[in-house]
Structure 1
Amino acid sequence: METKVNYALIGAFVLGLGAVLIAILLWLASGGAWQKKYDTYLAVEDESVAGLNVDAPVKYNGVTVGKVQDIQLDTTNPQRVNLLFSIEHGTPVKQDTIVVLKTQGLTGIAYVELSGGSAASPMLVAQGDTPYPQIQTKPSLAARLENVLTSVLAKLDSTSNNINAILSPENQAAFRNALADIAVVTRTLAARKDSIDSGLADGATTLKNTAQASAKLSDLTDRVARAADSVNTMGTEVAKTSVSAGKTVDVIGSDVRHFSAETLPELERLLGELSTLSGSLRQLTDQTRRDPRGLIFGRTPVPVGPGETGEPR
C-alpha cells in the first residue's frame, strides 16, 4: 500500500521555513538585538553641499555618531538645503552644538562635523511645529575661503581700476610735465647753492637774534605786567580815597548848611552888639581922656549956658 504524500503541505512548510530564515538573516544583518537606536535631527545649510551624499558619516569631534539620512532643497528658499541626520540615541547634542561641512583628504568626499556643546548647555529639543530638533550651522572652511577670496578679488579689481585711471594718458602726460618741472627746479637750486647756503646761515642768525629778542621781550612783558598790577592797585586805592572824600564832602556840606541856618544869625547879632559895645567903649575912653575924675566922682554936670534953664525940656 503506497503512502500518500501531501505535496501542498510540504511546499507550504518549505516556503514558510525559507521566509523565517530570510527574516532571521535580515535581522542578524541589521544588528539583531544589538541594533542601535537613532534620533533624527534637522540642519539648514545656506551654502552648497556639493560632495555630500546620503549615508555620509556624521562625526562629533571626529567620532562617528550617525549618518546623513536625507538631503533636500528648500522649496520656499532655493538658497537653502535641508539636511536630515540619523544620530545615535544618547549623543549629547546640545543647544550650542554647531554643524559644519568638511571634506575628507584630497578625495573631496564631504561629511558632517558636529562641534561645540558645552557641559552647562541644555539638550537640544524640537521647538514649535518643527518635527525635528534643528542644529545650528556654521559656514564651512571652503565657504569662508570663498567669501575671503571674493572680497579680495573685488578689492583687487577696484585697485586695478584705480591704477588704470591714474595711469591714463592724460595723467601720464601730467606726470611727465611734473617731472620736467622738478628737474628744472633741481637744476636751479643746484646753481644757486651758495646763495641758499648764505641765506640759511643768515636765517639761523636771524632766528638766534629773534630768540634773544623774545627772551628780552618776555622780561619786558613781565615788567609791564607788574607795572599794570601796580597801576591797578593804585587805581583801587584812589577809588577808595574818592569814596572817602565824597563822604567827607557830604559831611562838610551838612555842617555848612547847619552853620548857615543857625550860627550865622547869632553871629550877626553878636557882631552888632560888639559894634555897639565898641562905640560905648570909645565914648568912655574919650570922656576919660577929657575928664579923668569922672571915673571916681562920676560925671560932672555941664554948666547951663546963657539963656538956658536947668529944667529939662
Structure 2
Amino acid sequence: MQNRSKKIRLGIFILIGTSILLFLIVYITAREFFRESDTYYVTFRDISVSGMETGSPVKYLGINVGTISKISINPEDITSIIVELALKPGTPIKEDAKADIVALGITGMKAIEIRGGTNEAKLLSPGSYIQAGSSLASEITGRAEVIAKKAENVLNNLQVFTHPDTLAQIITTFKKFSKLAQNADQAILKIDSLIAQNKQNLHFTLENAAKISDSILNVTHSLKETTEKINLLIQSDSINQIIGNTRDITQKLKESDISQLIEDLARVAKQTKELLEKVDDDINKGSKDFLENQEMLKATLRNLEEASRKINNNPSILIRKSKAKNLPDDLFKD
C-alpha cells in the first residue's frame, strides 16, 4: 500500500514537472515567435561571414538592438550573402548607416554592428537594405597590405642607404660638418674676444642707444601733443569761421560782374600811372630848382666869406659903407 502511494506521488510529481517544462518551452517559443520586430536586410558581397550564425546579436554603437534571424545566399548573385536582421521596433536606422561584421571576443563568433548615420539623413523604413560596411578580415587584410608596403619602402630605403656610394657621401658630409663645427667654434672664440676687448665701447654704445631711445620717445610725445593741438585748432570755431568767410567771398565773387570789375581796375591803374608820371615831373622840376638855389647859396657863402675877410683886414669899411659889387641879393631882384 505504501509502495503504491509512493508511486502515485512520484507520478504526480513527474506529471507536474513535465507540464511546467512544456509550458516554459511553449511560452519561450511563442514569445520569440510572436514578438514584434523590424526586419532589415544586409547584403555582403565577396565577404566571408564565417562565425556568424542565426541568433547572433545585432548591435548599434555597442547596444544590443536585435538578432540575426536568417542567413542565406542570394540566388541571383552567388557571390553575395543576404543577412536578415530582426531589430527592436522603433530602432532609428539612417539611410547613410552601415552594417559591419565584428568579432565577439576570442571565440571566433561574429556579430553585426550598425555604425554611422547622421541626423540630417532620412530614416530607413523596415524591410529596406542597410549598406554593407567592412569586415574584420578585410580590415586586417587592408592593414596588412599597408604594413607590407611600408616595410617594402623601409627596405628599399635601407638598401639605398647602405649603398657604398651613399655611405661615402655620408662620410664626406660628416667630415664637412665636423670642419664647419670647428670653424664655428673658432668664430665664437673670436667673437668672445672682440666682445671682451670692446666691452667698454659696447657699454657706451648701449647707453647712447638708450639716450637716443629716450629722445625719440620725448619727440614722439611732443609730436603727439602737437598733433592734438592741431586737431583742436582744426576743430575750433575760428577755422570754421575762416572757411565760412572764404566760402562767402567766393560766392560773392561768383555773383559779381567780373568784366565791370576788370574795367574799373584798368581805369584805376591808368589814373595811377598818370599820377605817378605827374609826381615824377614835379620831382624832376623841384630837383632843378633845388640845384639852382644850391648854386646861389654857394655864391652867397663865398661873398660872406670874402666880406668877413675884408672886415677883418680893414674894419673901417663898415664906417664908409662902401657898396659891394655883385651881391647875391641883386640876383634875386632880377
- TM-score grouping bracket, smaller chain normalisation: 0.3 to 0.5
TM-score, normalised on structure 1? Answer: 0.48
TM-score, normalised on structure 2? Answer: 0.45
